[in-house]
Structure 1
Amino acid sequence: MAAAPILRGRQQERERLDQALRRVKEGESAVLVLRGEAGAGKTTLLHYLEQQATGCRIARITGVESELDLPFAALHQLCAPVLASAGALPAPQRQALDVAFGNITGAAPGKLVLGLAVLSLLAETAAERPLVCLVDDAQWLDMATRQVLGFVARRLLAESVLLVFAVREPNQDTLLAGLPALTVDGLGEADARALLAATTPGRLDARIADRIVAETRGNPLALLELSRSGRAELLGGFALPAVGTGALQDRFEQRIRAMPDSTRMLLLLAAADPTGDAALFWRAAEGLGFGPQQAAPAQEAQLVEIGRSVRFRHPLVRSAAYAAGGGEDRRAVHRALADALDSGGDRQRRVWHLAAAAAGPDDRLAAELADVAEGVASRGGIAAAAALLRRSSELTTDPGLKIERTLAAAQAGLNAGDFESALGLLARAEALPVDDLQSARIYLIRGLTDRAAHSGREAPAALLRAAQRLEPLDGRLARHTLLDAWSAALVAGRLAAAGGDLAAVSAAAHTTPPAPGTPTAADHLLDGLAALITIGTEAGRPLLREAVTGFLDDTVPPDLWLRCGVLVANAALSLWDYDRWEASNARHTDLARASGALVPLINALNVRRVIALWRGDVAHAKELGLEESAVKEATGTRRASYGDFFLLAYQGHAAQALPLLTEAAAEATARGEGLGLYFTERATALLHLGLGHYAEATAAAERAATGDLGPFTAQALPDLVEAAVRSGATAIAETALARLGTYTAGSDLEWATGLEARARALVSGGDEADRSYAEAVDHLSRTRLRFELARTRLVYGEWLRRERRRVDARHQLKHAFEEFTEMGADGFAERARHELLATGEKVRKRTADTVDELTPQEEHIARMAKDGRTNAEIGAELYISARTVEWHLRKVFGKLGISSRKELRDAPVHSPSRTR
């Protein structure tokens, strides 16, 4: 196929590709996403890049629409030619690749471990010579492959790898969002006219040419196709057909239908096999009674190339070839492909083709599909499992089993994030003769789907109704659903729709008895959370203590931990038990990491960052933020992090923080997430407190303390007391103190006692204030809550200064200033510095040091290297390649003025306060 004419007018695109290729040949990495409509020339640009990549190794794959539900299918094609380099990878990464590609059986590999394995594999391959990876029709890659390649693309830096995606627009996929992109538009008018003239013999009427260029918008493939098959129309001035993506496929389809039946059948066979495996194609063709002679017309017409692999001229040709086949012909080619596949070596694909070949119900095949779906799900292919279960249900004759498989497919679709498919399957299940329990389960899955797909306002009420329907049918499932409803109501907060607020859900849970038998940790958790809202903290505390103990005693299965982990941490928080707050969150985080459950891991890391900040460990919170960002990239999640909000508040940079917090609050309101709104308001209050803007802090803290969010409301009240006292709103402060007492009553833990004593001191005077401040310092000194202790010393020092006890004030303020400075809480540190100056103490502003010159990533890498970690070990923890670690270390050495790891041991890259 002649590529030169289509490259008319592509100077900018070629320069961009050449530039990326030069970078890779010089030892760096590059990523580029080519975006454009079908036929714009993206594939041709990939061909151009392949021709230019002399001296490089080429790996090329093309996404295929029919493989969207086959996990890791495209990833395996990309990695297969370079798997020889896998021997150099660490054992966990090699195992992740083997499990994902079906070479061995085992637990589903975590997406992060698998992403790191692919990144390391590409880096190892590129160590020999630069590697160019070309991914055409990326919009049709299976979800698992898109997640992994999106992860890899964001971590390539110093590996001599060029990764180029071609993706059809419009495309709503967010997994490639934010990557360097180049839009491939149609040709300009002059180039489009020149291409049309060069490929159309005879004299072309200028008016007709104008219409063609306008209607095609310079789309090269449309221009070529018109010149190839519409010459009589073009030269004679007859009516022109509409031209566009749909029209192009129709034109290809007409050409294919005009070919001999045997050729058309072979094109259908090639379209039905998305792997492009030429050996498989010829085996299946032989089974149909065809050979190379029947394929020749299609190759001569330049619709398909059959060499070492089968490659269509354009994805639209593949679509047209499949569309041109009738139902019986499609079943025949899928049956031939299944017969040509080794039943042992590629069972999944063989069963997939058999399902496509089935003309009607087939219980044996339905059972095999369900069995394969279970294996696919264990390898992380939730979307594929949903598709297999959906087809299994379609082939099942037994009504009860059909309903169960349909519900299983809907649940898998929900887990895979395919909400539209899940809702469609639920509608299909409702049309079947369901019993009461199945009907209630349909209602539950629909509620969970709506919660995941839409805003938080309606979800709590829907899940509550599902629990009420389940109660007489399955008590255990009903109570687990009430936990889901409680969690949804907590997230919705004051934005919940009528009948779904935390009080309503808690009241329903309070009157729902446990299932028969010994109450479980989950039962204690539900009853304790319900009592917390309906009766009060003192009533809920014993039950919540039992719940947290039960979850931490290894008596709860992992799936329930993943489901309830955030609620367990919230239970510990409501107890003011910092140690078990941290321990329960650590267990949740570890289980999520080990199981590869990325959505629970995002939630767990979010909580973990807040815990680290309250411990005063800003450096660790930043490190966790790097991991949280990596997980979000792997899942395509774009949700803001509560840890980010508090980091903004700690750092005290209002010009940067306030617009971000305002935007986050608006987004939370739009989604109906009252908890997200609470966190933005709480962070805003802390920001203003650090800056001494007490009226603004009072307003934000009042909003955060509105309603009752259990432990979260309790945490906001000390901020409100401090802000209100400082702004002169004494009545507001006294009311907040009284409310705080209802949450701390009966607690003998240092955290609760210390915060209540500090709040009491703020609204008091004289000896009572002095005693209460000293009591607060004493209690909080026995905890690991450095931030709260430093805040207490600050307000105590401020009070002592106003009492003209300057020496005592300096003692408290110095401690506060040093703590805030080491924590990186710059706003509060500056407030403490001003107070020290007012006592007559001389204190300088904190100056930037070498550590501040390092980026968070560089600082983290430097500290791990100081601890003796190898590049591979550092890369495994940060989800980057060892070559990128080495690149970062070279930059660290340059900034620190050193030249080796040996010198790094004595370099000042952290202080004791920044260790974990």
Structure 2
Amino acid sequence: MAWSAPEVADLAGTTVRAVRHYHDVGLPAEPRRRTNGAPGDQLFLPARRLQRRRPTASTSFPARTGCETQGWGTELFGRGVEIAELDRVLARAAAGAGSGLVLWGEPGIGKTALLEYAVDTASDVTVLRCRGTRMEAGIAFAALHELLWPVMDRLATLAAPQAAALRGALGLSRDETNRFLVGAAVLSLVCDMARERPVLVVVDDAQWVDEATAHCLGFLARRIGADPVAVLLTGHEDPHSGMWEGLPAREVVGLAEEDARTLVAAAVPGAAEDLVDRTVRAAGGNPLALHELPTIDHEPDTDPVPGRPGDLMTVGPRLRRAFVARAAAMTPPARALLLLAAAEERGDRHVVHRAGAGWGVDMSTWDELLRSGLVRAPGPRLEFRHPLIPAAVYDGTPFAQRQAAHRALAAALPSDATAERAWHLATAADTADEDVAALLEQAAEQSLRRSAGPTAVRTLRRAAELSPDEGDAARRLAAAARAAWAAGDSGAARRLLDDAEQLVGERHVARLSRGLRGFLEFAYGVPERAHHYLTSDMAVVEDLHGVMEMGSMAVRSAWSAGRDDLQQEALERLAAVDTRGDPTLSELVPLLCSWWTCHDATGPAAPVDPATVGDLADRLGTRAWGLLPPLSLLQSWGVDGPLHDVLRMQTAALRRRQEVIAPAALLVQTAVLDVTAGRWDAAGNAAVEALEPAEEVGTENVATQCRLILASLAAPRGDEHTVDDLTTRVLAASVPRGVRALSANAYWQRGRAALFAGRPREALDHLLRLSEPGHDAAHHTCALLAAADTVEAAVQVGRLDVVEPQIAMIDGWVRRTGANWARAAAHRIRALVRSGPEAEESYRAALEVPGAPDDPFEYARTRLLHGEWLRRARRRAEAGRHLTGAAQAFERLGAEPLRARALRELALSEGPRVRGAAGPADAAGLTAQELRVAQLAADRLTNREIAAQLLISPRTVGHHLGNVYPKLGITSRTELARIDFAGDLRITVGG
């Protein structure tokens, strides 16, 4: 039968370690009771029953800190130096020479794990071990009793005086105890055993070993140089003086960060990355802390204290006991001083000194504290030797004593330390207290002025807990929700609003939070629900600018959802706002309404002066950027250009205020402008920079916009895999929430990727969804901006029925806004469906629109289309000039598919030329046009699709294929698909 550790503990009581010693030294395997004079019977179990098992959470054996356990085997992380030193000690013993080593360091640092490594590693040795305990530290020879009990039957082999002294020391007889004789007896006993095989003496927690045993072990360790004996001890203090003076010592320090992360991953498989980060930061490399902290919420005997200081992390019971044991040996005034230092947190020695004045603290108390090694005092600052010490001391002190400490510290603070005093009083409070709550609220306001949002949230929440009046509590919870929202913690903001609504109801909280529920819903939830919250809460919010922002955001929510009816409802509410004579707002309301009525561009809406729109956009960007419509709408108006510098300055200002959501949102807007201006690398960097915080705080709208920007860059660069991956993620997030503006953009980027890759039919299939009533991607603004792409794809596949509605939409927008991009797009669209002089006139007009070169990508696309038209008109020199310019622009931007297309057209426009070394096409005798036709046919495009892409007739395609087949020695498209056009034009599969 195999015995588990708990069973052994139940049978052996406090002698579990003795049972393990019994097994290690290999004594007879039958169970027996020893009653030879020792106080109490000691039960020994047969070694064959002690099968080595993997320890579990209920194991009574000492925890093996800093290691991963396999059976009783040990894998240590980051302990290469210590392991090497242990190996040297064990190797000396195996070679017949004795030595000792003291491993010392703070509690939980992994010393016990290193001892376990030595025990597990040593082969064919006798292991004697014991552990010091505080309870037995005052009992002479208590630890020696544990160490030698398994080999007590060997006492008969000792010289009579030694045996008598040792028996007396161990309580086996009434013989007089002589420390020298006891030390000599232990030395003789161990060396006698070492003649049979090496002996490993292991002493854990040697700082608690009783003085008599410590003298005996020191006597042993200093006299084993000529015998195969290794003595390993662990302790908390540097053994340069005291019982172990003269023995080699090695300080065990905290794990490096990489090793600490590995240990957390081994201790808590699947731990979230943020949990690992917090644990590694808090533990300071302490392995026991790395084990305990990730699971601290599940510790049954860790009772969180209301109002606990935020900088003190909660520690688990084992770590607490390890550190508190050090403090327990100090005098009461020194323990009180240690508690004050732990509760003060900032390390201000003067404040701690003033607070301790009434607690009997004098210079001798300070001397005792500093001698303990727990605290250092370099100058006016107090520093704990390890960051876990103050937490352990604080947690290990009764609540009443902590209350007294915080009140003393509050009284000792200077008059201007409002926040610190507020928190000390709040921590000491155990009932509602309006004075303390008001002081906390004042401290939170100071934190917000310093842009310390998370601190303000914590402070306001505690203020609400201490508020006697429910209205005051709700107000403070609402303010905390606003602070959490600004800091990017939407989950906390929602919970705080919920708590406030339970006290005073939804409408009152809407007024107190200035409509925060709607903004949260827009950023993280469903836009239609956001519209509902925002429009209904406009009636209760008192701040006029807040009402304007809510109204604007309600319109934007409806626009995002593609709901014209909800957009009109929000516009009516916005138009009805009483601006109270504010000149800026009075001018803003009608203009915002005109801005947002873009859903009916072909209707009777009156034209709006773009200059006025641009001027107000510039002013809003510098003073109230939150009222700006989405940038795609500003782009459709053609007033986005001047906003780049404004948004950049606003982003920098928000970063200085340490806000999270707003800077990410502004970075997205800046990235969109960079895409249009041809600053694609800058746009990609901004999108990546904004994506990280957006994902971290869960702002799905902003994260989705970042992905769409990256997709808009990948599409013209030919990275279709990235486009597909990003748009799939976008649609997975936007479609269930009904955010049509984002879904439409995803379809647009898919359409552009297919169009640039030469698959116009697939491109058109995606692009038509933008105007399809009822489709998840139907959205007017996006359809308007994508009109030029839609027409180009439709022309290439011969869908002229699609062209006229697109032209009508663009023309209506040009009449409405006069936007330069729309004028250029309208001319380009007409050029695609016209012929002769009319087509050339349209291309020229598109290129001559003021500001057209400011969008270098679209300008180059127009030049490419114009160059292709000129090449077909056999005006090769003019075609070459446009195609060369387009190719150069595409090369600068990294738009490789369009660059390759421009270069192919350029080769066709140049006609026959002197050739150098023959390429694959030359070797087969194909012209450049025949090669292009063959490549497209090999991609399984029909003659009509090839004709649309190359802007030639289907009959011409058939003519070229009729020339290609005999030149390549094939007879069908099936064989054409097997040709390696990038290689030597041989048939790679089949004949």
TM-score (ref. length: structure 2)? 0.55
Contact 1:266 1:285 in 2 (8 A): yes
1:207-226 equivalences under 5 Å are none
Superposition deviation, residue 186 in structure 1: 12
- Residue in 2 that maps onto 1:391: 462
2:760 & 2:324 partners in 1: Cα distance? 74
Report what 1:697 is aligned to.
763
RMSD: 5.3
Deviation at 1:731, TM superposition (A): 2.4
Shift of 1:549: 2.2
Could you tell me whether the CA contact under 8 Å between 1:797 and 1:810 is conserved in 2?
Answer: yes
**Would you say the 8 A contact 2:260–2:290 is kept in 1?**
no
Which of 788, 791, 800 is equivalent to 2:861? Answer: 791
**Aligned equivalent of 2:555:** 486
1:41-440 matched pairs, under 5 angstroms: 172=272, 174=274, 248=318, 268-276=339-347, 280-289=351-360, 304-305=374-375, 309=382, 311=384, 315=388, 321-344=393-416, 346-397=417-468, 400-433=471-504, 436-440=507-511
Contact 1:702–1:720 (Cα < 8 Å) also in 2: yes
Shift of 1:770: 3.1
Among all aligned residue pairs of Structure 1 and Structure 2, give the percentage whose two residues are the same amino acid: 25
1:745 aligns with 2:815: yes
| Aligned equivalent of 1:611 | 673
Would the alpha carbon gap of residues 502 and 604 (structure 1) be closer, same or farther in structure 2, given more than 3 Å must change?
A: farther
User: In 1, distance between residues paired with 2:759 and 2:321?
Assistant: 68
Where does residue 515 of structure 1 map in the other structure? 578
Q: 2:718 aligns with which of 645, 652, 665?
A: 652
Residue 718 of structure 1, CA deviation: 1.3
Unaligned runs of 5+ in 2: 1-63, 68-73, 84-106, 115-252, 295-313, 915-991
> What amino acid is the match of 2:720?
A
CA distance in structure 2 between the partners assigned to 1:505 and 1:672 by the alignment: 15
Contact 1:573 1:581 in 2 (8 A): no
Shift of 1:698: 1.9
Letter in 1 for 2:906: L
* Cα pair distance change 1:163/1:549, threshold 3 Å: farther
Q: How far did 1:483 drift? A: 1.8
**What SS is found at the alignment partner of 2:849?**
helix
Show the counterpart of 1:812: 882
Give the Cα–Cα distance (whole angstroms) in 2 for the partners of residues 451 and 408 of structure 1: 19
Whole-angstrom distance in 1 between the partners of 2:913 and 2:108: 67
Write out per-residue CA displacement over residues 446-479 of structure 1, whole angstroms, 9 at most, x where no aligned residue: 3333444x4x3x2442343342243266483444
- Are the equivalent residues in 2 in contact too, given 1:510–1:531 (CA < 8 A)? no
Structure 1 residues 167 and 293: alpha-carbon distance in aligned structure 2, compared to 1, 3 A threshold: farther
Q: Partner residue of 2:207?
A: none
Residue 725 of structure 1, CA deviation:
1.5
The answer for the alignment partner of 2:834 in structure 1 is: 764
Question: Aligned partners of 2:730 and 2:110: how far apart in 1?
Answer: 39
Residue 747 of structure 2 is matched in structure 1 by 681
SS in 1 for 2:577: coil
Q: 1:288/1:841 Cα in 2 relative to 1: closer, same or farther (>3 Å)?
A: farther
SS at match of 1:342: coil
Shift of 1:739: 3.1
The structure 1 residue matched to 2:786, chosen from 693, 710, 716, is 716
Cα deviations by residue, 1:397-454 (Å, 9 ceiling, x for unpaired):
56554443332122112222333433333233224346955455559323333444x4
On the 8 A contact 1:744/1:752 being kept in 2, the answer is yes
Q: Which moved more, 1:765-774 or 1:782-791?
A: 765-774
Work out the CA distance in 1 between the residues paired with 2:617 and 2:800.
Answer: 42
Distance 2:825 2:679 in 1: 20
Q: Which residue of 2 aligns with 1:840?
A: 910
Aligned twin of 1:895:
none
For 2:408, give the aligned amino acid.
A
Q: Structure 2 vs 1, CA of residues 164 and 17 (structure 1 numbering), >3 Å: closer, same or farther?
A: farther
Q: 1:32-54: per-residue Cα shift (whole Å, max 9, x none)? A: xxxxxx96869999xxxxxxxxx
Question: For 1:875-906, what per-residue CA distance to the aligned partner results, in whole angstroms no more than 9, with x for missing partners?
Answer: xxxxxxxxxxxxxxxxxxxxxxxxxxxxxxxx
CA distance in 1, matches of 2:825, 2:279: 46
Alpha-carbon offset, residue 737 of structure 1: 3.0
For normalisation by structure 1, the TM-score amounts to 0.59
Aligned partners of 2:862, 2:328: CA distance in 1, in Å?
84
- Measured at CA, do residues 440 and 402 of structure 1 come closer, stay the same or move farther in structure 2, by a change above 3 Å? same
Give, in angstroms, the shift of residue 838 of structure 1: 2.5
By relative contact order (CA 8 Å, sep 6+), the higher-ranking structure is 1
Aligned residue number for residue 126 of structure 1: none
1:542-564 CA distance string (max 9 Å, x none): 3886454234247x873x22x23
Map Cα deviations across residues 321-347 of structure 1 (whole Å, 9 max, x no partner). Answer: 444545433321211222233333x44
Aligned-partner Cα distance in 2 for 1:543–1:175: 54
Counterparts of 2:326 and 2:286, CA distance in 1: 26
Would you say the 8 A contact 1:510–1:530 is kept in 2? no
Larger Rg: 2
Partner residue, 1:575:
637
**Residue in 2 that maps onto 1:643:** 709
**Which among 602, 613, 616 is matched to residue 550 of structure 1?**
616
Letter in 1 for 2:569: A
Residue identity in the other structure for 2:893: M
Is the Cα–Cα contact under 8 Å of residues 66 and 109 in structure 2 kept in the other structure?
no
Asked if residue 734 in structure 1 is aligned to residue 804 in structure 2, the reply is yes
Query: What's the secondary structure of 2:384's corresponding residue?
Result: strand
Q: Distance in 2 between matches of 1:280 and 1:730?
A: 83
**1:1-20 equivalence runs, <5 A:** 13-14=78-79
- 1:732 aligned partner, one-letter code: V
Give the deviation of 1:593 after TM superposition. Answer: 5.6
Answer with 650-659 or 820-829: which moved more: 650-659
CA 1:486–1:816 in structure 2 vs 1: closer, same or farther (change >3 Å)? same
Amino acid at match of 2:403: R
Letter in 2 for 1:564: L
Tell me if structure 2 keeps the 8 A contact 1:443–1:466.
Answer: no
Residues 761 and 797, structure 2, Cα contact 8 Å, conserved in 1: yes
Question: How far apart are residue 758 of structure 1 and its match?
Answer: 0.9
Answer yes or no: is the 8 Å Cα contact 2:510–2:516 preserved in 1: no
The letter for the 2-side match of 1:737 is: I
Whole-Å separation in 2 of the counterparts to 1:661 and 1:435: 37
- 1:65-95 per-position Cα deviation (integer Å, ceiling 9, x unaligned): xxxxxxxxxxxxxxxxxxxxxxxxxxxxxxx
Query: Does the Cα contact within 8 Å between 1:721 and 1:732 map onto a contact in 2?
Result: yes
Kept in 2, the 8 Å contact 1:544–1:571? The answer is no
Picking from 767, 772, 776, the partner of 2:846 is 776
Unaligned runs of 5+ in 1: 19-37, 46-133, 139-152, 154-161, 188-215, 223-243, 495-500, 845-916
Q: Is the 8 A contact 1:482 1:526 kept in 2?
A: no
